[in-house]
Chains A and B, each alone.
Chain A
Amino acid sequence: MRLDTILRVVVKIFIPFILMFGLYVQLHGDFGPGGGFQAGVIVAAGIILYAIIYGLRAAQRAVPPGLVEILMPLGVAIYAGVGIAGFVTGRNYLDYSNLMHGDMIHGQHWGVFLVEIGVLVTVASTMLAIFYAFAGRGRE
Chain B
Amino acid sequence: MEQLINMVLLTLLAAITFGIIRVRNLFAVVVLTGAYSFLMASVMIVLDAVDVAMTEASVGAGISTVLALGALYLTRTEEAEPRYSPLLPGIVAAATGAILVWGTWDLPPFGSADTPMNTHVGADYLARNMAETDIPNVVTAVLASYRGFDTLGETTVVFTAGIGVLMLLKRWRRAARRED
Q: Is chain B found bound to chain A in the same assembly?
A: yes
Could you list which residues of chain A lie within 8 angstroms of chain B, going by C-beta atoms? Answer: 25, 29-38, 41-42, 44-45, 48, 52, 69, 72-73, 75-76, 79-80, 83, 93-94, 96, 104-105, 108-109, 111-112, 115-116, 118-119, 122-123, 125-127, 129-131, 133-138, 140
With the chains together, A108 CA to B145 CA distance in Å? 7
Which residues of chain B come closer than 8 Å to A25, judged between CB atoms?
Answer: 54
Q: How far is the CB of B101 from chain A (nearest CB, A)?
A: 31
Which chain B residues numbered 93 to 147 have a C-beta less than 8 Å away from chain A? 132-137, 139-141, 143-145
Return A98 CB to nearest CB of chain B, in Å: 13
Chain B binding surface SS class = helix
17 A–B contacts from the bound complex (CB under 8 Å): A33-B50, A33-B139, A41-B58, A42-B62, A45-B62, A96-B148, A105-B134, A108-B133, A108-B134, A111-B145, A112-B133, A119-B155, A126-B159, A127-B63, A131-B66, A134-B67, A134-B70
Separation of A75 and B145 alpha carbons in the complex (Å): 17
B161 pairs with A45, CB closer than 8 A: no
Q: How far is A11 from B143 in the complex, measured between Cα atoms in Å?
A: 33
Q: Which residues of chain B come closer than 8 Å to A44, judged between CB atoms?
A: 63
Q: Nearest chain A CB to B41's CB is how many angstroms away? A: 11
Q: How distant is the Cα of A111 from the Cα of B133 in the complex, in angstroms?
A: 10
Residue from B71, B140, B144 with most neighbouring chain A CB atoms (10 Å): B144
Contact of A131 among B55, B70, B148 (CB under 8 A): B70
Determine whether the beta carbon of B169 is less than 8 Å from that of A108.
no
User: Chain B residues near A73 (CB, 8 Å)?
Assistant: 159
A119 to B59, CA, bound (A): 15
- Min CB distance B58 to A, Å, is 4
Question: Any chain A CB within 8 A of the CB of B53?
Answer: yes
* Residue B73 interfacial (CB < 8 Å): yes
- B6 within 8 Å of A by Cβ? no
